[in-house]
Amino acid sequence: MAEGIFQQLKSVGSHFAFEYFLEIWKPKLIEMLREWLSGYTADEIKKMVRKGTFPDTSNLNFGAVQGYYEYIEKITALRLLEEYLLPARPDLVEAVTRMGIPGANWIVKLRQKLLDQIKGYVKQEKQDIVQAVCDKCGKSWPVPREEFDKIEACPFCGHKQGEEVQREPASEPDVVVEEEES
């Protein structure tokens, strides 16, 4: 009997820890979703719903949630919609929800696509993945360690390795000269 209670407490503790994690990371996750969806209009998303296609997820970095997959898969489509997608892009959520059942089905499938992406990222992490960072735009992306030396160009800005980076000269700080009173 005591072992059953211990298991229940352990389960509640794990769930509480995950919920706490979500609350702490919620602003970052919402910002990540906002950035991911920034290149899409409501009309483009509606076309995706009709065609059954989704925004490209290849550049999403799920490193922050890699150890929490078993909990993340318990996040419902409704919770994903209300707590993460709605704050990230209310215009897109409105467009999808106005489509009725096809929009709701699309959200369910989008949730599964994101879960599959996270699951794939978790598997990649086990393959010794490192973060590559572009010298020019500063964006980063995951790369298997053995392929790091083979990177030819940044997937975001196209900057090629070995090209010189043109930087704006730093502006001189304003110098304030105070006159002495005589």
Q: pLDDT by residue (tens digit) across 160-171?
A: 877 776 655 545
Q: What percent of the chain has pLDDT over 90?
A: 35
Q: Could you tell me if 71 and 15 are in contact, meaning their C-beta atoms sit under 8 angstroms apart?
A: yes
Question: Could you give the CA distance from residue 74 to residue 17 in angstroms, rounded to a whole number?
Answer: 14
pLDDT number for residue 164: 76
Q: Could you tell me if 141 and 59 are in contact, meaning their C-beta atoms sit under 8 angstroms apart?
A: yes
**Element containing residue 113 per DSSP (H, E):** helix 101-126
pLDDT number for residue 182: 47
Question: Beta strands 140-144 and 129-133: pairing type?
Answer: antiparallel
Pick the most confident of 46-50, 140-144, 178-182.
46-50
The structure tokens 């065609």 sit at: 51
The whole-model pTM stands at 0.59
Q: Could you tell me if 106 and 48 are in contact, meaning their C-beta atoms sit under 8 angstroms apart?
A: yes
CA 145, 124, 60, 97: dihedral to nearest 10 degrees? Answer: 170
**Element containing residue 51 per DSSP (H, E):** helix 42-51
Question: Could you give the CA distance from residue 39 to residue 22 in angstroms, rounded to a whole number?
Answer: 25
Which one, of 83, 71, 65, 81, lies nearest residue 16 by Cα? 71
Q: Which one has a higher pLDDT value, 18 or 155?
A: 155
Confidence band, pLDDT 50/70/90 cuts, at residue 153: confident
Say whether pLDDT at 181 is over 80: no
Structure tokens at 18: 């995950």
Q: pLDDT by residue (tens digit) across 1-38?
A: 556 665 655 556 666 777 787 788 889 889 989 999 99
Question: Could you give the CA distance from residue 159 to residue 164 in angstroms, rounded to a whole number?
Answer: 9
Q: pLDDT by residue (tens digit) across 88-131?
A: 999 999 999 999 999 999 999 999 998 888 877 655 555 567 78
Q: Which one has a higher pLDDT value, 31 or 60?
A: 31
Across 11-20, 52-61, 153-162, least confident range: 11-20
Q: Could you tell me if 96 and 109 are in contact, meaning their C-beta atoms sit under 8 angstroms apart?
A: no
The average confidence (pLDDT) of the chain is 80
